[in-house]
Every structure is written in C-alpha cells, then in structure tokens.
Amino acid sequence: MEVTLLEREISGYIGRLLRENFGRGPGNVFCTFSSPFVTVYITNFLSPMEKSLIGNRQSVYVQKTRDLMMETLEEEIRAFIETNTKEKVNEFYYDWNLDGKTGMFLLILENDQKFKCEPFLNKDLVHKEIINVSIEAEKPPQKVSSRLLNDRTMIIIREGILVSIEKELIHIGFPETLKIAKRNLEKRLMDEHKANFEKLLSAQIIDQFVDWNFEQDKSYSLFILKP
C-alpha cells in the first residue's frame, strides 16, 4: 500500500476506535510511517469526565483509567497495523499529554530494515542534552540513538537507564506507579531543557512524549516539532 494512503487508513481507524471506546473522538489523528516505526499523534482528545477529574487534580486517575483501556485496545491496534503493513508489530508504546489534550502511539515493526541513525544538524549536541536530562532524572544512558522520521517528528531511544531502586520497584510489582512518576519527572526536566533542544534543532517543540520497556531497560521519546 502507498505510504500516504496507509497513513490515512491508520489515522482514520485510530480516530474511530477511540471514539467507540472513550465516547469522544479526537480532533485530529496524524500518522507517520517510517519503517520500522509507525507513530500516531492525537490532538484535542479529552472526555468531559476526564476534564472534570483533571480540574479536581485527579489526573492520576485519568492516566490509570486510560492505561486499563489501552490494555484492551492495544491488541486491536496491533492487528490492524499488521494486516495493513503485512508486518509483525514487535513493540507498542503510548503516552498522553492530558493538559494539552494530546496523545501518542508508537509501534515498532519487525522487518529486515535495521534502525538507521541518520545524521541531522547538531545531532551529537542533541544527544548530549538528552544525556544531561537522564543524569538529572536517574543516570546517564548506556546508549542514545535518534532519528528524524520527518520534519515534524523526532524519535529518541535511550538504553540502560534504570537505577537499582527502579529495578526493585519493578521486581516487587509497582511498574505502573514507577512509570507515572518517571513520566512526570522526565517531562518536567525536558521542559527545563526545552529551549536548548529548540535552539539545537532550529524548531519549536510543540509536544513531547515518553514511554519505557522496563524488561529491556530502554526508553522511547518523541518530539513533535514545528520547523
């Protein structure tokens, strides 16, 4: 299937799926397919009940509810992507920006194409800034890689970032609590470093998302850019 048509098909499907399961659909859904990555950026997505909870400082409950819902929807999204790309989905990640009413899905396909860390302006300095954020949050990652999927979407992968106390929390059964805490912390730190990233990338960062694979000790971050 042509890439542009595939992106439209995925966007339309995700919009319908969210509307059917949350009672309210997103304003817009933007899909980017850059093998082996499929990213889905969702805007203006917040139900009246969720808005009320956030207004009463209960955003944690919104995050937990969406996590439970995504446990069901993940399999449906995986199946749709696999049917339309003819490739197996190896990994699935998601994150929400509740204040901005936005969200992100990231799917990583299994194919013969290896992840290529193609060069872009100031790439080494961007990685250095990412390492600085990681040091403030936990520790420097063992490895950092990144790629511009297009002029509006950047992906950053960090490997080897968990510290001992985090591994212990995962071991005793608190991965969800750890993920919520790490999201809040890392996004706050990213905001503090935002001006540096924007200067290096020559672009405004209009949104950011992060998720983890605790078993593999790696993190995926997405920047939504405005060149």
The percent of the chain in helix, strand and coil, each rounded to the nearest 5, is 45, 30, 25
Q: Give the per-residue pLDDT at 117.
A: 66
Q: Give the per-residue pLDDT at 114.
A: 59
Helix (H, G, I), strand (E, B) or coil at 34: strand
Show Cβ contacts of residue 55 under 8 Å, excluding neighbours closer than 6 positions.
none
Q: Give the per-residue pLDDT at 118.
A: 73
Q: Give the per-residue pLDDT at 40.
A: 97
**Residue type at 10?**
I
Whole-prediction pTM value? Answer: 0.90
Q: Give the per-residue pLDDT at 56.
A: 77
Domain interval for residue 53: 3-110
Last residue of a domain, one of 80, 110, 140: 110
Record the tokens describing residue 156, joined without a space. Answer: 């950053």
Helix (H, G, I), strand (E, B) or coil at 16: helix
Last residue of a domain, one of 110, 139, 173: 110
Record the tokens describing residue 171, joined without a space. Answer: 């071991």
Residues 133 and 103 reside in one and the same domain = no
d(CA 221, CA 61): 23
- Structural domain includes residue 137: yes
Full strand arrangement of the beta sheet holding 37-43: 28-34, 37-43, 102-110, 88-97
Residues 220 and 142 reside in one and the same domain = yes
Q: Are strands 153-159 and 102-110 parallel, antiparallel or unpaired?
A: unpaired
Residues 9 and 44 reside in one and the same domain = yes
**Residue type at 2?**
E
- Structural domain includes residue 117: no
Residues 128 and 102 reside in one and the same domain = no
Ordered mean pLDDT values, 10 residues apiece, the chain (227 residues): 90 94 90 94 89 80 85 94 94 93 95 68 94 94 94 95 94 90 92 96 96 95 94
Helix (H, G, I), strand (E, B) or coil at 98: coil
- Residue 146 bridge partners (DSSP): 156
Residues 96 and 148 reside in one and the same domain = no
CATH number of the domain at 153, please: 3.30.980
Q: Give the per-residue pLDDT at 22.
A: 84
Q: Are strands 88-97 and 102-110 parallel, antiparallel or unpaired?
A: antiparallel
Q: Among residues 185, 214, 220, 223, which one has the least CA distance to residue 93? A: 220
Total domains, the chain: 2
